Amino acid sequence: MTYNVGNPLFKGSLVALITPFSNGVIDEPAFRNLVNWQIDEGTNGLIPVGTTGESPTLNHEEHKKVVEICVEEAKGRVPVIAGAGSNSTAEAIDFTIHAKQAGADAVLHVTPYYNKPTQEGMYRHFSAIAEAVEIPVIIYNIPPRSVIDMSVDTMKRLAEYPNIVGVKDATQDLVRPLKTRLEIGADFCQLSGEDATIVPYLSQGGHGCISVTCNVAPGPLAQMHKAWWDGDLDTVRSINDRLLPLHDALFCETSPGPVKYAASLIGLCEPNARLPICDIADSSKIKVESAMRHAGLIN
């Protein structure tokens, strides 16, 4: 490597966990099995109740229960980064307090959606969280869903808090990780939030990915990240080529609809999501099945 990769708190292949449902309620055995399978397959970190985990349609009791189950099942084998984001700062702090009490290693906080706060509003939101709870915080910057984009300057201000340690970057701007590294430093943890950008993101100074695809392909993704850090670019390219159609297919409709269907194909859980996310179309099912075959995950 020709750049300083620093010493980030988290790196490698991390999974944005789905939340399995059965008969309208959380399928706890399926979720526990998913957590253990991810760890056994080499996943480097678990993110329960992010947006892939359908946090917007979980009530507070369910949200907190999923975090507790994940921590309990992980047993300290890999870090648990609990989704705790909200467009209400007070609610975000409440979820963060609970995550720390439950034993999570860190929290993931999305930029406040719908409210459309200014850069100063975002700064104050994350400052309030950082000051309220002593736990590592990762900023989730996803303009396509939150409509706002946290600037590198604002992120640099927030990085002055010792417990604001990194970003999940879903901007799809592949210059952003380089700018962020130069402005904030190589220790600031940079994780891609877009599966298809993993390799170029790493090449620009990123440290890993919080992945949707990892729900169904944890082994290959763990191998790809290991190959990257080992400098084995042939293996990186081979796995990346095999998984790219799957990355695309899992977003052929609004996530997590497609990834839940993919998970059902390999027996992980039922394909059900909560409204307003509905069953994917038959044409989308064909795309997902084809991509799963291309990836070697089903026959």
Q: Which amino acid is at 16?
A: A
Asked about 201 being catalytic, the answer comes back as: no
Q: Which residue of the set 65, 123, 140, 201 is catalytic? A: 140
How, if at all, do strands 106-110 and 12-16 pair? unpaired
Query: For the purposes of burial, counting CB atoms within 10 Å of the CB of 37, is it exposed (0-12), middle (13-18) or buried (19 or more)?
Result: middle
| Cα gap 292→299, rounded to integer Å | 9
**CA gap 163, 108 in Å, rounded:** 12
The β-bridge relationship of strands 137-141 and 106-110 is parallel
Instruction: Please tell me whether residue 219 adopts helix, strand or coil conformation.
Output: helix
Q: What are phi and psi of 138, to 5 degrees?
A: -110, 130
**Catalytic pick from 11, 64, 65, 168?**
168
Instruction: Look up 140 and say whether it is catalytic.
Output: yes
- In single-letter form, the type of residue at position 190 comes to Q
Contact of 63 with 41, CB cutoff 8 Å: no
Burial class of residue 267, CB neighbours in 10 A (0-12, 13-18, 19+): exposed
Q: What is the set of active-site residues?
A: 140, 168
